[in-house]
Amino acid sequence: MTKAKKARGKDSYLFTSESVTEGHPDKVCDQVSDSVLDEVLSRDPAGRVACETYVTMGLLIVGGEIATEHYVDIHAMCRDLLKDIGYTHPRYGFDYHTCSILNAIHTQSPDIARGVNQGGAGDQGMMMGYACRETPELMPLPIMLAHKLCRRLTEVRKTHILKYLGPDGKSQVTVEYNSGKPKKVTSVVIAAQHTEEVVDKKTDAMADHARQEIIDKVVRPVLKEYIDKETRYYINQTGKFLIGGPQSDTGMTGRKIIVDTYGGSISHGGGAFSGKDPTKVDRSAAYMARYIAKNFVAAGIADKLFIQLAYVIGKADPLSIMVDTYGTGKLARERIIEIIREHFELTPGGIIATLKLRESKNNRFRRTAAYGHFGRNEEGFTWEQTDKPKILAKYL
């Protein structure tokens, strides 16, 4: 048994979450799919979108089902997006100037539209929501730290603080918990694409000074008081990360559903978000579940709350509602569910109206497609509002 294990009490455990940068191939695809959604909804709020994207070396394919009268210039939109992400030169494994783009979009199935047009859900499935008191955002600490590390990787790249970084990257954070509360970060993993500029010719690996710069310029400013002298750092653990982006890994929409949500802290219904208009409850009901959970925790009814909603295609009301407060609730589960039914609209139409999900401006949905859909106090993230605590607190 190691000294670290001996130091931990019987109520201690480790929990890990990861995130990826906006240049990760899967996240490129999520952003393309949500950019299509933004473009459609900005001109046609009633438009229907189910857009999927695939990317590999030199090729990006956009497909799916769209119902709208508005024309979307897929080629121009994709190239602008790739340029903004940073795929501006072949050395990054993908180049917005020269990559091939294939548009394979077609119209939505009338069988799906039939149920949705009557106000029903666009699909069956289970959607989860969660909130807890570990962070000011009422999110689990590991996923919030992982997101902030990836945001910082992008920031130091785009502001030329670390000029040698490429768009692709990942982070992973392991947090030690004691009696259910986060105590410190025990290990940090950073995979950061880079250029030949920082490869040590003697070792054919990333130079030690560059690894240390990533720790000093990226990790320490984000993790601050959560790290100590025992924290372990794994920076480009294979030695180097020259070949990145779509050149090294294919990407697809919807393959980062744990990154998009709560970092594995709760179960997941399996449905991805990006590229789906709000009639798809995979997305809209998951947003509503987060909105509910966050408001109950903010109201002091529980320190953490998990909610599951279940739907069937063509039917408006959820088939079931399940709530778990993990022993922290100040009200009985049945009473919480009664309050949810009384104060929150759970039909697709009610969710869309409450959260204003047909409105799209300032790349609203594209911004959700990198660095998480939750824990973001930004314009357009209406499901992050805490506007009901006063109403809910009266039940205490």
Of 374 and 2, the one with more pLDDT: 374
CA distance to 16, 217, 286, 371, 379, per residue, from 374 (Å): 18, 25, 10, 9, 13
Query: CA angle, 379 as apex, 295 and 61 as ends, to 5°?
Result: 110
To the nearest whole number, what is the mean pLDDT of the chain?
94
Lowest model confidence (mean pLDDT) among 28-37, 67-76, 303-312, 362-371: 67-76
pLDDT per residue as tens digits for the range 351-379: 999 999 999 889 999 999 999 999 999 99
What distance in Å separates the CA atoms of residue 149 and residue 152, rounded to the nearest whole number? 5
Q: In the predicted model, what is the mean pLDDT of residues 5-34?
A: 90
The tokens for 240 are 């180097």
> Which of 39, 102, 75, 34 is CA-nearest to residue 254?
34
pTM above 0.85, yes or no: yes
**Which tens digits make up the pLDDT trace of 235-250?**
999 999 999 999 999 9
> What percentage of the chain exceeds 70 in pLDDT?
95
Res 71: pLDDT = 85
Amino acid at 382: T
* Confidence check: pLDDT of 5 > 80: no
* Alpha-carbon gap, residue 251 to 310, rounded angstroms: 29
Per-residue pLDDT, 278: 94
* pLDDT (mean) for 162-174: 98
Lowest mean per-residue pLDDT among 116-120, 183-187, 261-265: 116-120
Geometric angle at alpha carbon 271, from 379 and 190, rounded to 5°:
70
Please state, as a whole number, how many other Cβ atoms lie within 10 Å of the Cβ of residue 13.
12
Quick one: which H or E segment has residue 133? none
Is the predicted pLDDT of residue 1 greater than 50, yes or no?
no
Q: Name residues whose C-beta falls within 8 Å of residue 267's C-beta, 6 or more positions apart in sequence.
A: 128
Domains and CATH numbers, the chain: 9-20+141-243 (3.30.300.10), 125-132+278-393 (3.30.300.10)
User: Tokens 């994709």 appear where?
Assistant: 78
What's the average model confidence in pLDDT over 163-192? 97
Report how far residue 108's alpha carbon sits from residue 98's, in angstroms, rounded to the nearest whole number: 31
- Identify the pLDDT of residue 266: 96
> How does pLDDT run across 197-210, given as a tens digit for each residue?
999 999 999 999 99
Average pLDDT on 305-327 reads: 96
Instruction: Find the mean pLDDT for residues 261-265.
Output: 98
